[in-house]
Amino acid sequence: MNKPAPVTDWVHDFDHTDPRWTENPFPIWDELRAECPVVHTERFLGVYMPTTYEAVKQIAYDTEHFSSRRVIVRTVRPEITQSAPPITSDPPEHKPAKQLLLPPFTPDAMKKLEPRVREICNELIDEFINDSKVDAAARYTKHIPVRAIAHMLGIPEKDSELFIKWIHEILELGITDDDALVRGVNEMSHYFAGHIEQRKKNPTNDLISTLMNARDKNGQPLSDMHVLGSLRLLLIAGIDTTWSAIGASLWHLAKTPADCERLLAEPALIPTAVEEFLRAYSPVTMAREVMKETTISGCPIKPGNMVLLSFPAANRDPAMFPDADKVIIDRKENRHAAFGLGIHRCVGSNLARMEMTVALEEWLKRIPDFRLDPAGEVTWSEGTVRGPRQLPLLLSKPH
Amino acid sequence: MSGKLRIHVDQDKCQGHSRCKALAPELFDLDEFGNAHEAGDGIVPPGLEDKAYLAKSNCPELAIDITED
């Protein structure tokens, strides 16, 4: 496929996969927001993007005009064959599908998982603590969420590299390459189908069995298709999202010594700082499909288009957040939308928050002195999930 | 003398972000789905007023009301 033409007019022709957007989207969003609460591009078969917190919120709450049946903006829009409930569900199917997944992800459930996540962090740190430099994205942040979700699902943590490959095919390559997406989805489905079959013979007490044992409102077990779809969702949504969030937080601390010193002196502030990192560097941009004509913040919205539901851009809206462009690690009032707004609030938000907090706590305990490696390059993932994929750091030995 | 504060979580708005429980654990309970409810009758014990307002100002869904009795 030909490379798209470079963007020269962001307001009327934006492209969220343009390298400049991937590298530093914040000034672009500010430009778009100053122009209009909702902008449009003909690229990707037609896409709107709300640029203000208010417009993002209106769309997130409006399940009548905006469907979740497609949640990724791509260059193709093939027939929908594989769903991932509840993220791809609309009312009324959404609520029962979501309620099945909520109990395993409550804050109390996360407290039980926390000791394992702390061990995972320390096992990873052990592998490079004696080095003078490390790519923290490749050797630390990448592995924490994937091992934690594997632990919850009851699948081998050692299969992590496989999961990361599928997710790259689905979320990044899949934007322009349908074969890569189909390959990733099929391999993942095949993998989980095997685990489902095993559990039919030998039940376990992990999340896969929980889903298999769940009953719908008529008392019937879920279809294998539904179980498979939800498992795909948990794996896809649970990995590079939090990988990105932990990575962006470490990146910020590596380049902002004052914030790092403050968190070393006041570790109790870390959960508050995590909220601010989530606001300022929100990794996830979901999508919606316009089903019916409507108006958002005075802008006409027409069916046939997708919507790039940019929670990250909403979180940078100065009308909602004073000093929106500054990272204030003790920000008191922080109604950020990093995990979405409305019925599709991220099921894994408590997991993500716990992982981020633990990952920063353990890192700072053992590696208090670190900075960006000027000889290295920080690179960011593009598209639906944005975060550091290369994060070269210099480490000083604790004295 | 000012009256007591009373909090209420609107169940139609709460989406289970659980920010309130993290910031003011004494004032909120979570159900099995992680959705928040005001603890007991919702009356804020003396000394916890700031926490009540902190929870309210961090609810992304604007689901928390605080009234003065």
A186: domain range?
A: 10-395
A349 contacts B54? CB cut-off 8 A: no
Residue A5 included in any domain: no
pLDDT for A216 beyond 90? no
Tokens standing for A216? 């719908």
Give CA–CA dist B53/A332, Å, rounded: 11
Using a CB–CB cutoff of 8 Å, tell me whether B16 touches chain A: yes
Average pLDDT, chain A: 94
User: Cα-atom radius of gyration of chain A, to the nearest Å?
Assistant: 21
Q: pLDDT per residue over A281-333, tens digit each?
A: 999 999 999 999 999 999 999 999 999 999 999 999 999 999 999 999 999 99
Interface contacts (A, B; CB < 8 Å): 50
**What's the CATH number where A15 sits?**
1.10.630.10
Model confidence over A8-36: pLDDT tens digits?
999 999 999 999 999 999 999 999 999 99
Contact list in B for residue A102 (CB cut-off 8 A) is 16, 32-34
C-alpha–C-alpha distance, residues A351 and A335, integer Å: 18
Does any domain span residue A43? yes
Q: Where are the beta strands (DSSP E) in chain A?
A: 38-41, 47-50, 66-67, 133-135, 286-290, 294-296, 299-301, 306-309, 370-372, 379-380, 388-390, 392-395
- Chain B contact for A330, CB < 8 A? no
State the DSSP code for B69. -
Q: Cis link prior to A86 (omega < 30° from 0)?
A: yes
Question: A275 touching B, CB under 8 A?
Answer: yes
Contact list in B for residue A343 (CB cut-off 8 A) is 15
For residue A46, tell me if it sits in a domain: yes
For residue A387, being part of any structural domain is answered with: yes
Q: State the smallest CA–CA distance between residue B31 and chain A in angstroms.
A: 9
Domain CATH code at residue B43: 3.30.70.20
pLDDT value at A110 more than 90: yes
- Please check whether residue A115 lies inside any domain of the structure: yes
Q: A302 lies in a domain? A: yes
Q: Flag whether A1 is in a domain.
A: no
Structural domain count, chain B = 1
pLDDT tens-place string over residues B5-39: 999 999 999 999 999 999 999 999 999 999 999 99
What is the per-residue pLDDT for A383? 86
- A184 touches A174 (CB < 8 A): yes
The overall pTM is greater than 0.90:
yes
pLDDT band, residue B69 (cuts 50/70/90): confident
Beta-carbon separation of A335 and B57 below 8 A: yes
- Both tokens of A249, joined, read 């937080």
Structural domain range at position B44: 5-68
> pLDDT-derived band of residue A84, with 50, 70 and 90 as boundaries?
confident
pLDDT in tens, A175-209: 888 899 999 999 999 999 999 999 999 999 999 99
A339 close to A349: Cβ distance less than 8 angstroms: yes
Q: Domain count of chain A?
A: 1
